[in-house]
Structure 1
Amino acid sequence: MSQNILRHELIGLNLEVVKSTDSGLISTKGRVINETRNTLVLEKENGKEITLVKEISTFRIQFESENVVKIDIDGRLLVGRPEDRLKRKIKQLYSY
């Protein structure tokens, strides 16, 4: 499942920052409303938008289908244009 998320559309998903080199971003939650090569734009519950740098954070992404599924993804794996993630071979950062 974690490799499939790298090819999944992130816009519209709920996301939380669980780890970051910028400690002020940790626990930031919201819905992804835009994605660029290096950033994600979240709309927080209060309606404010915040731009997050992918490379410095680990994100907890929530999927809602039959069950609620939460997956932690290292932002370094998300760096790149969204349309190019489909074509890219996935470099394994961690051995499972």
Structure 2
Amino acid sequence: MDITPKNLIHHELIGLTTKIVASTAPNQIGLKGKIVDETRNMFMIEKEDHRIKKTAKEGVTFVFMLSDAKVKVNGKLLLARPENRVQKRR
């Protein structure tokens, strides 16, 4: 199943490129990279210099870059174990 703006929050996010556009932690705004791991409350994002930054999902607005669109998502919508979020009804 292809990732679309409509099904993004119910899809596997590891491997997607993301950028933080708003955050309760101002030093994280502008962080961009590829999601390499995910837990219930956190993303691990690999930056271009190959360093990995951990960021909370709650209190953050992400923009995910898909092949044909950019999708802005409130991190609060992503709060769940990845395996549980993917199984939720769409």
Fold conserved (TM > 0.5)?
A: yes
Tell me which of 35, 40, 43 is aligned to 1:40. 43
Query: Paired residue for 2:85?
Result: 85
Gaps of 5+ in 1: 91-96
TM-score (norm 2): 0.89
| CA deviations over 1:5-63 (Å, ceiling 9, x no partner) | 11111000000000000000000000000000000000000110000100010000011
Write out the 4+ residue segments of structure 1 that deviate beyond 4 Å after TM superposition.
Answer: none
Structure 1 counterpart of 2:60, one-letter code: S
Higher relative contact order (CA 8 A, sep 6+): 2
1:20 and 2:20 are equivalent in the alignment: no
TM-score (norm 1): 0.84
Cα RMSD (Å): 1.4
Percent of counterpart pairs with the same letter?
Answer: 37
Gaps of 5+ in 2: none
